[in-house]
């Protein structure tokens, strides 16, 4: 249990996918303009991350690279990128159909963000890094949920930063994307301050 909690909070604070691993920068910059759309996107990402992990982990362990196949000809772990993309695309499409039919309210809330997530590198990153870290199934799911919440935290924080930046008087040459990138860098730097904090709490 302690290990799960450690994984969860590490993903949020220390190994934040956006601010520490620099995955998913595109939605981070593109959708963080308004708080409500930032929250919508993040929730959709969290949802898909967990679902994608739940789908890819068994496929990797059962089809691509079962434990007995490691080191033999049967080891197809090199296929994981292409297969995972395929699975995530199928999953998102399926999810969209499902939500449209059975949970229209959620479908409406997630709106355009759901299909956008198909090609989001954080999703692929989470599924692959879970396996690289050697997590078992439950740990992978917790890790994915933590990564999603971490994404949410980063998006919400940054939408606040961005509102302040937009109200401030910016030099002409920095207007628009440049000042946004500078603000993103400073936000990311501030997250570096969390380094080691989770280890210290859970292993003390």
| Sites of contact with other proteins (CB under 8 A) | 59, 63-64, 73-74, 76, 79, 82-83, 86-87, 89-90, 93-94, 97-98, 100-102
Give the residue with the Cβ less far from other proteins, 82 or 173: 82
Residues 6+ apart with CB under 8 A from 125: 17, 21, 23, 24
Give the residue with the Cβ less far from other proteins, 93 or 119: 93
> Minimum distance from CB of 100 to other proteins (Å)?
5
Distance CA 23, CA 16 (A): 9
Give the residue with the Cβ less far from other proteins, 127 or 187: 127
Which residue's entry shows tokens 């959708």?
31
Distance CA 78, CA 111 (A): 34
Q: How many CA atoms lie within 13 A of 57 on its CB side?
A: 24
> Minimum distance from CB of 20 to other proteins (Å)?
32
> Minimum distance from CB of 11 to other proteins (Å)?
28
What distance separates the 2 farthest-apart alpha carbons in the chain?
A: 62
> Minimum distance from CB of 198 to other proteins (Å)?
36
Give the residue with the Cβ less far from other proteins, 55 or 161: 55
């Amino acid at each position: 249990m302690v290990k799960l909690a450690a994984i969860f909070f590490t993903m949020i604070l220390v190994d934040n996918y956006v601010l520490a691993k620099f995955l998913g920068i595109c939605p981070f910059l593109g959708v963080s303009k308004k708080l409500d759309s930032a929250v919508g996107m993040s929730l959709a990402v969290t949802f898909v991350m967990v679902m994608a992990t739940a789908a890819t982990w068994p496929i990797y362990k059962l089809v691509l690279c079962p434990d007995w196949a490691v080191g033999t000809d049967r080891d197809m772990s090199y296929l994981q990128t292409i297969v995972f993309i395929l699975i995530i695309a199928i999953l998102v499409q399926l999810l969209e159909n499902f939500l449209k039919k059975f949970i229209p309210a959620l479908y409406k809330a997630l709106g355009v963000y759901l299909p956008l997530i198909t090609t989001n590198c954080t999703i692929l990153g989470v599924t692959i890094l879970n396996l690289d870290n050697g997590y078992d199934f439950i740990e992978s799911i917790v890790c994915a949920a933590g990564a999603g919440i971490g994404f949410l935290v980063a998006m919400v924080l940054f939408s606040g930063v961005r509102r302040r930046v937009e109200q401030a008087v910016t030099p002409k040459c920095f207007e628009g994307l440049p000042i946004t990138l500078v603000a993103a860098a400073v936000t990311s730097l501030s997250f570096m301050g969390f380094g080691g904090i989770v280890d210290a709490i859970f292993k003390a």
